[in-house]
Amino acid sequence: MAMLGLDDQHLDHDLATIRIKNLRLRTFIGIKEDEIRNRQDVVVNAVIRYRADNAVAFNHIEQALNYRTITKQVIAHVEDNRFELLERMTREVLDLIMSFEQVLTTQVEIDKPHALRFADSVSITLSDSRDARRKV
């Protein structure tokens, strides 16, 4: 379940990268009767990029992007809601992370373990950036 960084070949060295790895949650996901009635495991991975100049220079939490706050909100959103599609859940988590002003770019991958008989999992990956939003 490894994720590549966003545009690793063209890194902006003033940006910090936060990686949330293998956040294991339980939620209602799917359209089959047993999926509607029973929570299932999902695994969330996120790559978040933001300008960390002030956090580095001043060494104060107020200057940094608080990944604990983001993670708590992701946990609450995923565990407190129902989703028919993995695509929808992934988009909602992506939008939640992008709602933090400091976030410039993010990529979210959510795995649904054991969704297919002979596969470890199925996953959806979506990404977004402030630049992409301005062009639309």
Amino acid in position 78: V
pLDDT of residue 14: 73
The secondary structure of residue 61, as a DSSP letter, is G
Give me the residues of the chain with pLDDT under 50, please.
Answer: 1-2, 9, 136
pLDDT of residue 1: 44
Amino acid in position 93: V
Report yes or no: 107 and 90 within 8 Å, Cβ to Cβ: no
Cα 49 → chain centroid: 12
pLDDT of residue 55: 81
* Interval 48-62: pLDDT, tens: 999 988 888 778 788
The three-class DSSP label of residue 86 is helix
pLDDT of residue 136: 47
Q: State the pTM of this model.
A: 0.84
**Which helix (H) or strand (E) segment is 111 a member of?**
strand 103-113
H-type helices in 30-100, by residue range?
33-37, 53-58, 67-79, 86-98
pLDDT of residue 11: 58
pLDDT of residue 76: 98
pLDDT of residue 17: 95
